[in-house]
Amino acid sequence: MSPPQQQHAQQYPQQYHQQRPPYVPQQHQQQQQQMQPPTQGISSLTQNMGGMNMGQQPGMQSPPPGSHSHKQRTRRAYAPFNPEVGDAPSQGGPAGFPPVNNPQMPGFPGAGQQGYPSPAGPPITGPQTFVPGAQAPTPTPGLAAPYARSPGAAPLPAGTGQPMGQQPAPYEPQKPRIDPNQMPSPITVHTHDQENYGSAQPYSTAQRLNAPLACTEFTAVDDGNSNPRFMRMTMGNVPHTEELLKASHLPLGIIVQPLAELAPSEEPVKLIDFGEEGPIRCLRCKTYINPHMVFINGGKTFVCNMCRHENDVPDDYFCNLDMAGKRLDSEMRPELRNGTVEFVATKDFIARQPAPASFVFAIDVTWNAVQCGMVAYAAAAIKDALYSGSGLPAGVRVGIITYDRSAHFYSLSSSLDQAQMMVVPDIQDMFVPINEGFVVDPTEARHIIEPLLDALPTMFANNRTAEPVLGAVVQAAHEALRGRGGKLIAFQTALPTFGPGSLKQRDDAKLHNTDKERTLYEPQDAFYRDWAIKLVEDGISCSLYLFPSAYVDAATLSQLSTVTGGELYSYPAFEGGRDGRRLMADVRADVQRAYGGSAVLRIRTSDGLRVDEHYGNLYMRNHVDVELAGVTSDSAIGALLQYDGKLDEKQDAYFQAALLYTTSDGQRRIRVHNLAAPCTTLIGNMFRSSEVDTSLNLIAKMAMSEALTSPLKGIREKLTDRCVQILSAYRRNCASGSAPGQLILPEAYKLSPLYNLALLKSPAIRGGADVPIDQRIYHMCLMRQFSVRKTMDYFYPTIAPLHMLAEGEGVADEVTGVVALPKLVRASYSLLDPAGMYMLASGGSLMLWFGRQVSPSLLQAAVGVSALEQIDTKMHSVPEGPTELNQKIRAIAGGLVPTRAGYVNVQIVRQGMDQAEVQFASLLVEDRNNDNMTYVDFVCAIHRQIQVEARPKGPSEPKWSYH
């Protein structure tokens, strides 16, 4: 073992260095054993990148020392890329990367992996290593050779010339020989994490170990640190200086999901009432009492863990200390034992009298809304959400508005026999004509609400009005809910071109895929943002459901949801049979989850750190308080941290997120989450404790914020450059002794290239003019509002094979109700069996893919037909059948979607027969699609850039600058 390798092996514990024998062609095993020393201390993913010669790519050589030919160069330059004859040219890639040839042809059934060795051995769990190996070119027989060599004759010695008349065999450059199956996979990572944390042994938050991943089903015990469902950090060890953080290029931040749902096996958050005096707080920084504060002076003084200020303990809170300096009553006080608690707010935190939340449903009933079926499905979805499943949160009241060129209000008083409609035609002077009975208890007025919702499609069946007045409805909702708070849930089908807040058609195809396209991401005017701010002031959030059949200017309308803490939903070209179930599932999930109003979030940190930026659907009047007109169990806020000074490496870094909010039943509460993380002076500890899922969520939120001011091309370049910087920093600081041709992927960040590629392929930022502006804005909003768990579901699809289900697969557990899934398949078309069936889940939608060669008996057992042509592609659910396979398929479909949704909308896809297969193939992240390269090609390109970074620069050659 060489000295650099010894240092690397000593720096990391043994569990981080599981070694795997490299793939070496048989004819060159002896040669490579002589040329390459064995790699010890670093586990290898694969060493079969034969002939790639990444260190000598054309156009990537450094100028000789003293050369001045590249002094003015500020960006990388690559030589023109000429694909080999017979190879499919690359369809493009991230800016700054040359295309990479790959024999894989995704999108064709049965695409082979010619030239790829078959995988061998168990999956890799340690740091991943790529080694470009030596591969000799296959000799090509000469044409019209007059002399034929005898079978079994010895090969010609090196340097021997060709026989007379025989043409020399042309030299063919080597193609990449990488087995895609041995690339780092989310399936392997998540399976391993589920095995570690999904057992009967719960996860204690006091452990100094990496928290379970967001996609893992686990049970957490609150032992002083907040449950990972509430707070997640991008790294578990905080660097003690800003210089150390910059050297790693890792993001340092927090994702806070303050009202996240707990697992049924976890204890609910404890509620504490300190009376009129309120909870104990630090006098200097106002940090709330928590388990990390230290009591001294016999229990008469406590030291704030944030600012180190010594505070006197109130007489009524005094308690003696034990021999270890711990309060004797600490186990009996949740605020000193649990990382998350909730305090009853005192009158100092009440600006106006709290009231139960009110949900107002506003339905567009114009001609287009009626004809596409939106009105009928929206009314059915509201009815289902109110009176099915768990119902609305406690105390919530409801009201209903319909609108076209005028606004229609309904009195729903339980004393009436039926609902009474009042029309306000003068939308320029909007008011609410009903004093009592506009918002009511849905249970008491059920006999009024249900008949009204059933009658709405008929009432407006002959409506010919085409202009919906959304702006006036926003004003009316503000008037109706002012002083009590609540939520506006609006269903809109067209661009509002009439009344207050009318907009103009401004979409210009000439701007698409240009630097000026970002002007379409900005609001058209300030009307909706100004009214969104007014809604925030009165604690009114807005969820906006769009049903566009043409341009609706989502960039402007989405201000209602992004500023008020709501969410945006989109159903392009709405068709009831296809999208109706999804709409009903979304409405039910939206209104039945936990809800809080008039919320303010503040994140406090240890001295030396501060929150630099906040990301998400929020509004901020100052730089510290995050105002959320509404907050739900899915609301997630990102916070980017910066340094104000140097941290003490001997002490932990502390973080506290305090949410002041009003519950759905009108009680003012303060929910406090606490987190402690050790400080470190070693960059290796930072990488080892990093969490790529949380980092991706924060980076995506940051990118969406920057998209309003920077071209998407520049953002794509920055995302790729940051991926290169992070992996280069790991190589430079943690694996400097590795061979120059190796690409080392840190264990915690080995999925970074794949997730970065998935982000580049997302409709939010990918290139091309084929993404409608409204859909791009919609996906941008998704990334702003997504939690870590939803981000993972969005970027990498879950693909379950259905044609080889084992005995226990597709069966729900009797205790937990969790459906056992089969071994999942990676997101690549070449891995799909043409004789099989697969269920793909991505972003809450399901697609059922049938291979062209699937057997009639399998089809009969699955969906009750014997041929692909007999399958009804318009059905949007798996039909019920008597067979065991059918029952398992329906159980798996239900297990792949959120349980709260209740409905499963399935898109049927038949290989080579349906247009929907284009959408299906676009979700396969590891293939070449969406204006980008394959996963294998992307990793190869990343490797080349890392080698450019690692290569010593000449005295006159500047180092590359990414920003």
**Burial level of 9, CB count in 10 A (0-12/13-18/19+)?**
middle
Buried b (16+ CB within 10 A) or exposed e, 478-504: bebbbebbbbbbbbbbbbbebbbbbbe
Q: Report whether 941 contacts 93 (CB < 8 A).
A: yes
Looking at the predicted structure, is the pLDDT value of residue 103 above 80?
no
Which H or E run includes 704?
helix 692-706
**The pTM is what?**
0.82
Is the pLDDT higher at 201 or at 45? 201
- What residues contact residue 736 under an 8 Å CB cut-off, 6+ apart? 4, 7, 8
pLDDT at residue 201, rounded to an integer: 82
Looking at the predicted structure, is the pLDDT value of residue 159 above 70?
no
pLDDT > 90 fraction of the chain, expressed in percent and rounded: 68
Chain segment 571-626, per-residue pLDDT in tens:
999 999 889 988 999 999 999 999 999 999 999 999 999 999 999 999 999 999 99
Radius of gyration of the chain (CA): 31
CA atoms within 13 Å, Cβ hemisphere of 34 = 3
Looking at the predicted structure, is the pLDDT value of residue 61 above 70?
no
pLDDT at residue 843, rounded to an integer: 79
Chain segment 14-33, per-residue pLDDT in tens:
333 333 333 333 333 333 33
Chain segment 262-289, per-residue pLDDT in tens:
998 999 999 999 999 999 999 999 999 9
The span from the CA of 127 to the CA of 746, in Å, is 5
What average pLDDT score do residues 35-52 get? Answer: 36
Q: Report whether 677 contacts 237 (CB < 8 A).
A: yes
The span from the CA of 58 to the CA of 40, in Å, is 32
pLDDT at residue 814, rounded to an integer: 80
- What residues contact residue 454 under an 8 Å CB cut-off, 6+ apart? 379, 383
Looking at the predicted structure, is the pLDDT value of residue 797 above 60?
yes
3-state secondary structure of 940: helix
Residue (of 21, 49, 115, 173) closest to 830 by Cα position: 115
What average pLDDT score do residues 102-108 get? Answer: 36
What average pLDDT score do residues 222-226 get? Answer: 95
Q: Report whether 486 contacts 357 (CB < 8 A).
A: yes
What average pLDDT score do residues 383-407 get? Answer: 94
Residue (of 146, 117, 145) closest to 46 by Cα position: 117
What average pLDDT score do residues 898-921 get? Answer: 81
Residue (of 236, 188, 235, 191) closest to 217 by Cα position: 191
CA pseudo-torsion sign 56, 62, 67, 69: positive
3-state secondary structure of 778: helix
pLDDT at residue 914, rounded to an integer: 92
What average pLDDT score do residues 420-425 get? Answer: 95
pLDDT at residue 812, rounded to an integer: 87
Residue (of 503, 519, 500) closest to 511 by Cα position: 519
**What is the band of 952 on the pLDDT scale with cuts at 50, 70, 90?**
low
Chain segment 666-682, per-residue pLDDT in tens:
999 999 999 999 999 99
Q: Report whether 920 contacts 873 (CB < 8 A).
A: no
pLDDT at residue 116, rounded to an integer: 32
What average pLDDT score do residues 332-346 get? Answer: 96
| Residue position matching structure tokens 């180092």 | 959
Chain segment 300-327, per-residue pLDDT in tens:
999 999 999 999 999 999 999 999 999 9
Is the pLDDT higher at 28 or at 247? 247
Count of helices and strands (H, E) across the chain: 23, 29
Residue (of 954, 941, 740) closest to 55 by Cα position: 740
pLDDT at residue 181, rounded to an integer: 81
What average pLDDT score do residues 440-466 get? Answer: 95
pLDDT at residue 765, rounded to an integer: 94
Q: Report whether 20 contacts 179 (CB < 8 A).
A: no
Looking at the predicted structure, is the pLDDT value of residue 401 above 70?
yes
- What residues contact residue 411 under an 8 Å CB cut-off, 6+ apart? 419, 420, 422, 434, 436, 437, 438
**What is the band of 731 on the pLDDT scale with cuts at 50, 70, 90?**
very high
Looking at the predicted structure, is the pLDDT value of residue 127 above 80?
no
Chain segment 109-120, per-residue pLDDT in tens:
333 333 333 333
Chain segment 538-565, per-residue pLDDT in tens:
999 999 999 999 999 999 999 999 999 9
Residue (of 221, 225, 223, 222) closest to 233 by Cα position: 225
Range in 153-162, 176-185, 186-195 with the lowest mean pLDDT: 153-162
pLDDT at residue 642, rounded to an integer: 96
Looking at the predicted structure, is the pLDDT value of residue 67 above 80?
no
Backbone angles phi, psi at 543, to 5 degrees: -105, 130
What average pLDDT score do residues 727-756 get? Answer: 90
- For 670: left if phi > 0, alpha if psi spans -120 to 50, otherwise beta; the answer is beta
Tell me the residue length of the chain: 963
